Each structure stands twice: as structure tokens, then as C-alpha cells.
Amino acid sequence: MRAGVAAAVFLAVAVSCAAAAALPMFAEAPEYRNGEGCPAAAAGVCDPGLVHIAMTLDAHYLRGSMAAVYSLLKHASCPESIFFHFLAAEAVGEDPGPELLRRAVAASFPSLRFEIYPFRAEAVAGLISASVRAALEAPLNYARNHLAELLPRCVPRAIYLDSDVLAADDVRRLWETRLPAAAVVAAPEYCHANFSRYFTPAFWSDPGLGARVFAGRRRPPCYFNTGVMVIDLRRWRAGNYRQRIERWMEIQKEKRIYELGSLPPFLLVFAGEVEAVDHRWNQHGLGGDNVHGSCRPLHDGPVSLMHWSGKGKPWDRLDAGRPCPLDHTWKSYDLYIPSDGNAASPALGPALSASLFSW
């Protein structure tokens, strides 16, 4: 019996160590405190003075998430009044699971107010169709559809952010975006983009689909990037918007109407109903394309949030020694510690040597 217990303990430790080895090392970030005029911080997630930010969290994009959190805190006027809600896949296979990710986040941000919510891949696995890129088929890409059910009901709204963003402004300004009674989602819209290309010819030629889907909406449908959204969670729940999105995913299973993973169902439900936000809050497309070595500059105009959407990610290009010019801006927020122990980000200075963590 004792031998069996010992074997079980050994196996548990081995599995834990294997999962931990999948996570990179990170430094402890500088600590930021609320300035004058910030709301008094109350204990608990239901504090009405909080700004709520939701992100997904996994091993592959953890480096990006850490940099994003650091940038949001650094540029916030009231950093202690930000509450982060992280959605993480359960510990299966190569996924480290919520608990190891929790330790990694807490080690780099000891004072951070956050919670991690386990997301079960089975909740969406049967709804996901093949996409043009395998990365777009990951179940965690669809976790944002479940925000209203996973977050506490006292949270009235949340800013959803992808892991490949950097803030260059106080996120409270985005949080305070006005949502009129008819709106559930606010996001920057891009009406110059060719909206028709997000759906297949079969969609546009079907008399029961196509333009008929968007008829009667508040305004003409436009493309918006789902990596930066302000979501009214109460209206989302009241309108059963997860079910509306999933209905389009079911139709996609029956008839191929789009190619791009989790984005088109959002467009089908919300395009033409989105409350427009200034483009400064999503300078997207900075990922470019690593395969072809293409880099993209910032769009004209002011910048409050940069978004490395696209095939290329700044951390991959930096590690490969082929960074795009804007990747150096991202690097200044990089908490990653390479295996040789040399800091990747000189901008952190002494903070890097204070604490090194590997989970």
C-alpha cells in the first residue's frame, strides 16, 4: 500500500514538474500605486470603482500577456483599481492549467488584483470548424464568448483584450466609453475594409443569408477587431449573445460560410450594432507576417493601444533576431528571462535582477 502511495506521489510530482517546465521564466515587474484622486480601494471583485479587464491565458501566449499587463499598469492613473480576469484552459496535455499560471502571474505581479477562471475545451470543441490557420481553431479563442457566465454577476462590464497588445494610455479612458441602451459591444470599427471578404461566396449567394442577415441594423455592417472590446456583460446575458454566436457556429458546420475562426460569428451577430470607439484604442495589424518577413507601421493618428494581430508576434521575431521596428517598443515591457539568465528587456533595469521565477 505504501509503495502504491509513493508511486502516486512521484507521478503527481513528475506531472507537475513537466507542466512547469513548459512555462518560461519571468521577472518581477515594478510595482505601481494609485495616485491622487483614485477611488478608495475596497476588498473584493464587486468594488464599483474597479476597471475590469478580461484576457485569456495560456503557456504559448503567456509572454505576451505578461507584457500586456505590465503596460496596462504602467500607464494607468489608478493601477490598483484594475482587476484582471484571466480565462485559462484546464490542465490537459501540454496546457499547464490555471494553478501554475496563477503562480506565474502572482510572482511577477505580487500586488495584482486578479482571478483565473478554468475554461473547459469541451464547452466549444463540438462547435469549432476547420480554419485557414490551425492556431485559429484553439478552443481558448472562443472563451470570450463565455465571459458573461464565467465572471461574477456583480461585474457590469469588461474590457476584453488579446494577449498581443500593449497599452500606451490610461485604460480607464477606454473603460469609460459610453454604451447607449441599444449597444452591447463597443470597439473601433474599420468601415473602409472589404467586409464581404470575411464570408464565403456561398454565404453571400444564399438568399436566406448574405445581406439579409444585416438588414435592419442600427448602421451598415463594418469590420471590427475582436481583440479589443468593451462588453456590457448584463446586456450580453439578457440577450443570450453566446447562444446567438454559437448558432452561427452550428450553421457553419452545415454550410461553409466563413474561413477565419472565431471572428466571423462575432461579425454576424454584432456588425452594424457595435458602438464605435476611437481607432487610437486598437492600432492593429502590427504582427505582419513572419513567413514573408513583412513589418507594418502604425496607422496615422494618435495611439493609445498597439495590437500585434496577424501571423507575426514580437517575441518570436525578437528571439529569431529579426525584429520589426515596433517590436523594440514591445521589448521594453518584456518580463521574459531567457534560459541563460540575461534580461531581455533593458528598460526594466534593476527590477529584472530582483526576482526570477520559473513555473
pLDDT tens for each residue of 62-76: 999 999 999 999 999
Instruction: Give tens-digit pLDDT for 171-207.
Output: 999 999 999 998 999 999 999 999 999 999 999 999 9
Determine the pLDDT at residue 11.
34
Tell me what the mean pLDDT of segment 96-101 comes to.
Answer: 92
The structure's pTM equals 0.89
Per-residue pLDDT for 317 more than 60? yes
User: Furthest-apart CA pair in the chain: how many Å?
Assistant: 70
Per-residue pLDDT for 290 more than 90? no
Give me the sign of the Cα torsion angle 252, 254, 256, 257. Answer: negative
Per-residue pLDDT for 223 more than 90? yes
Length of the chain: 359
Determine the pLDDT at residue 236.
98
Cβ count within 10 A of residue 47: 16
Distance CA 145, CA 274 (A): 16
The phi and psi torsions of 218 (rounded to 5 degrees) equal -60, -35
Domains of the chain: 48-340 (3.90.550.10)
Residue found under cell 476597471: 51
Tell me what the mean pLDDT of segment 221-234 comes to.
Answer: 98
Share of the chain above pLDDT 90, in %: 75
Tell me what the mean pLDDT of segment 218-243 comes to.
Answer: 98
Determine the pLDDT at residue 273.
98
Please check whether residue 142 is in contact with residue 128, taking contact to mean a CB–CB distance below 8 angstroms: yes
Q: How confident is the model at residue 212 (pLDDT cuts 50, 70, 90)?
A: very high
| Bridging pattern class, strands 51-57 and 82-89 | parallel
Determine the pLDDT at residue 129.
85
> Which of 356, 348, 318, 359 is CA-nearest to residue 64?
318
Per-residue pLDDT for 6 more than 50? no
**Burial class (CB within 10 angstroms; exposed 0-12, middle 13-18, buried 19+) of 268:** buried
